[in-house]
Structure 1
Amino acid sequence: MPDPYLQRPEEARHFCLEVSNVDSYRSALKEAGYQIIEAEPIPHRPRFFTIDPAGNHLELTTILDDYQQA
């Protein structure tokens, strides 16, 4: 029986956390053994995804400037 808490890869549901330094979070999560999933770039929004222990997809980003001005 499939785990009901894990999303199928084709599902895009997630929530996003704005953090002060996305690179430090990427390093810390990678060091802790979490999967890092690189995301399609958005101007002035470095970001990546990971999956928490309950199977939730999380996006982490740092807002550097208005992406619409790029």
Structure 2
Amino acid sequence: MKIDHIQLAIPENSEQLCRRFWATILGFEELEKPENLRAQGGAWFRHGSVEVHLGVEKKFRPAEKAHPAFAVAEITLLANTLTTNDYDVFWDTSIPTRRRFFTNDPAGNRIEFVEIFRTT
């Protein structure tokens, strides 16, 4: 078993801000949504085998605790890229064996990034 995609809720009319975050800043490729789902709004993205689907929720409330965690090789570079683009980065040291930080997407959803440790 594996995860097919991650679904995050976003508020109405926030797709452009989300595209900038997921595609331009994080480097995800935007996918074309199936035609029968386009009228609902939102956007779909992929980076390698990871898909993130953003769905518009009318009574939107950001996910402040539940969150996806993405493993990345260059965590410091990513943190710098996010801060350069006006996103706050919150480093967390509560797990001593993992370098990680949290940020919020444009909708306020919590996102975690964890460093991939090389064993060479």
Fold similarity call, TM over 0.5: yes
1:29-48 → structure 2 map (5 Å cutoff): 29-48=82-101
Larger relative strand fraction: 2
Question: What is the distance in 2 between the residues matched to 1:59 and 1:41?
Answer: 13
Shift of 1:64: 1.7
Unpaired runs of 5+ in structure 1? 66-70
Unpaired runs of 5+ in structure 2? 1-58
Question: Residues 48 and 59 of structure 1 are in contact (CA less than 8 Å); yes or no, is this contact kept in structure 2?
Answer: yes
Normalised TM-score (structure 2) = 0.44
- Tell me which amino acid in the other structure corresponds to 1:54: A
Backbone CA RMSD of aligned residues: 2.2
2:115 — aligned with what? Answer: 62
Larger radius of gyration: 2
SS at match of 1:14: coil
Question: What is the distance in 2 between the residues matched to 1:44 and 1:21?
Answer: 16
Change over 3 Å in CA distance of 1:49–1:27 after alignment to 2: same
What percentage of residue pairs aligned between the two structures are identical?
A: 32
Are 1:13 and 2:57 matched, yes or no? Answer: no
Q: With a CA cutoff of 8 Å and minimum separation of 6, indicate the structure with the bigger relative contact order.
A: 1
- Tell me which amino acid in the other structure corresponds to 1:52: D
Q: Flag as ranges the 4+ runs of structure 1 deviating above 4 A.
A: none
Shift of 1:16: 0.2
Q: How many residues were matched structurally? A: 61
Question: Residues 93 and 99 of structure 2 are in contact (CA less than 8 Å); yes or no, is this contact kept in structure 1?
Answer: no
- Tell me which amino acid in the other structure corresponds to 1:55: G
Question: Residues 41 and 47 of structure 1 are in contact (CA less than 8 Å); yes or no, is this contact kept in structure 2?
Answer: no
> Can you list the C-alpha shifts for 1:45-66, whole angstroms capped at 9, x where unaligned?
111000001221000011326x
